A and B are shown apart, each in its own frame.
Chain A
Amino acid sequence: MAAALKVNAMDTPTIVIDGVSKAYGATPVLRNCSTKIAKGEVVVVCGPSGSGKSTLIKCINGLEPFQSGSITVEGVEVGSPRTNLPKLRMRIGMVFQHFELYPHMTALENIMLAQVRALKRSRAEAEARSRSLLKRVGLEAKADAKPANLSGGQQQRVAIARALALDPQVMLFDEPTSALDPEMISEVLDVMIELAGDGMTMAVVTHEMGFARRVADRVIFMDQGCIVEDAAKEQFFAAPASERAREFLSKILAH
């Protein structure tokens, strides 16, 4: 039955990336990338550093402009000058490698800011929502703590709560555990696994292949700005089609 649901959902992809290319001057960073992400799907994007995976994911919410091709999120054209980007971004949560919590605000204020200023929720409503999200990521006691007084893992969990506060349709994760000490990685991954279990549509740039094996539906492998492989998880791990992906996997799984 789950499979049937997924096939249905595939008919109306949440994110459509079609022939996207981008260059910094003469240096290409994305070359003709195309893929689709269906509602409720969890897609892991991996590849060597400099392969363009972070750039690709930042193109989805328009943080990085691209020169050709198109990206639509729920039918809205990201690259169009007529698109109201702030409005579109409210439906797309994003979590960054370096957390990017606002250091001059408490955890609670971090989660409240966009709810009040972008979504125009009342302060009371925003605070209630923020506290329940802090509880969900296990940090209700840290509401009044400044980011500097939180561990890396706690900061990233607050950052996830901040992204969820706008009730996004899609969550983008840009190497969410790369800047964490090893013992803190699992507390962040646990939150993400729970989120995937709740049916959130997720695009995750990560090297955590354990996470990919456990919750991903599909794995995209990128190299030198190209999507080299875009396959169902089982297929990707069992028999990657390209030599480059095989090499990458053997390196990343060996240690």
Chain B
Amino acid sequence: MNYTLQFGPIWDNRALILDGFVTTILLSAAALVLAILIGVVVGTAATAQGRTPRLLSIAYVESMRNIPLLIHMYFWYNGLAFLKIPAFWCGVLGLSLYSGAYVAEIVRSGIGSVPRGQRQAALASGLTNAQAMLFVVYPQAIRAIIPSLASVFSQLIKDSSLASVIAVADITYQASAIEGQTFRTFEIYITVCLLYLALVTLVSQTLTILSGTRGDGLTRRVADA
């Protein structure tokens, strides 16, 4: 073992690394927004009165969750190559469809944690179903689900590295390119590890802090009951 650490070649490629890091952030952010949208719609459908929305919701969650994310990536990029969707958006689609199923499960349980009478009271006062969800149910549900959401969000950021297999130039992709050029394998991957660690920690800690300071009403209500 006489390996000498050389971060020089890594520093020389800092523009590529930064570019990859920005792509990772953009990819995760776009997938996150879509996953939340999917999760809210599908998760709400799971709590609907009617049978059809509930069945559709279950079908979505089960089919999306039970396919490996890597296959999602190949499917959108290679399987549907004739659609000519840019690689970046294939990555966004695969990630958001897959993570959206997990968000949906969390949203469903969050809505379930709000006492049934809350929605009834909102409806009884003349609010529409959508208004009752928006003003009464969701604001209470979100406090209950922030910790679980934080874990899905950090999972999503980590999962975004799989988009490198369909040539999305994220940080994982750039790392392997730099590795091939410089042969500084350890140095480049320790750099990438630290960058992922920083990003995921930042996102999950932000959400944890948010839930800690804003959950007062709900926790007290639960404590009183």
A residues near B (Cβ < 8 Å) are 58, 61, 63, 85-87, 89-90, 92-94, 96, 98, 100-104, 113-114, 117-119, 146-148, 159, 162-163, 166
Which residue of chain B is the closest to A109 with respect to CB atoms?
A: B135
Which residue of chain B is the closest to A117 with respect to CB atoms?
A: B131
Whether B126 and A89, one on each chain, are in contact in the complex, defined by CB atoms closer than 8 angstroms, is yes
Contact A89-B125, Cβ < 8 Å, known A118-B131, A148-B224:
yes
A233 to B224, CA, bound (A): 38
A63 to B224, CA, bound (A): 27
New contact pairs (7) apart from A102-B135, A104-B140, A104-B217, CB-CB < 8 Å: A86-B123, A94-B125, A98-B115, A100-B120, A103-B218, A113-B122, A166-B125
Whether A104 and B218, one on each chain, are in contact in the complex, defined by CB atoms closer than 8 angstroms, is yes
A87 to B128, CA, bound (A): 9
A61 to B123, CA, bound (A): 9
A32 to B143, CA, bound (A): 43
- When A and B form their complex, which 10 residue pairs have the shortest distance between CB atoms, in order from nearest? A90-B126, A100-B121, A114-B125, A118-B126, A94-B124, A148-B220, A100-B117, A89-B126, A103-B221, A103-B217
* B86 interface hit (Cβ, 8 Å): no
A59 to B121, CA, bound (A): 14
Whether B123 and A148, one on each chain, are in contact in the complex, defined by CB atoms closer than 8 angstroms, is no
Whether B126 and A87, one on each chain, are in contact in the complex, defined by CB atoms closer than 8 angstroms, is yes
Q: Provide 20 A-B residue pairs closer than 8 Å at the C-beta atoms, listed in order of the A residue.
A: A63-B120, A63-B123, A86-B126, A86-B128, A89-B125, A92-B124, A96-B117, A98-B115, A100-B115, A102-B118, A103-B221, A104-B140, A113-B125, A113-B135, A114-B122, A117-B135, A118-B125, A119-B126, A147-B221, A148-B220
A166 to B127, CA, bound (A): 11
**Smallest distance from the beta carbon of A26 to chain B beta carbons, Å?**
18
Which residue of chain B is the closest to A163 with respect to CB atoms?
A: B125
Chain B residues with Cβ below 8 Å from A101 are: 121
A93 to B123, CA, bound (A): 11
* B41 interface hit (Cβ, 8 Å): no
Q: How many residues of B contact A (CB 8 A)?
A: 23
**Smallest distance from the beta carbon of A206 to chain B beta carbons, Å?**
18
**Smallest distance from the beta carbon of A169 to chain B beta carbons, Å?**
13
Whether A114 and B117, one on each chain, are in contact in the complex, defined by CB atoms closer than 8 angstroms, is no
* B199 interface hit (Cβ, 8 Å): no
**Smallest distance from the beta carbon of A222 to chain B beta carbons, Å?**
21
Which residue of chain A is the closest to B218 with respect to CB atoms?
A: A103
Chain A residues with Cβ below 8 Å from B143 are: 104
Which residue of chain A is the closest to B220 with respect to CB atoms?
A: A148
Chain A residues with Cβ below 8 Å from B115 are: 98, 100
* B212 interface hit (Cβ, 8 Å): no
A89 to B143, CA, bound (A): 29
Which residue of chain A is the closest to B134 with respect to CB atoms?
A: A117
Whether A117 and B118, one on each chain, are in contact in the complex, defined by CB atoms closer than 8 angstroms, is no
Contact among A102, A146, A166 with B126 in the assembled complex (CB-CB below 8 Å)? A166
Which residue of chain B is the closest to A118 with respect to CB atoms?
A: B126
Chain A residues with Cβ below 8 Å from B135 are: 102, 113, 117
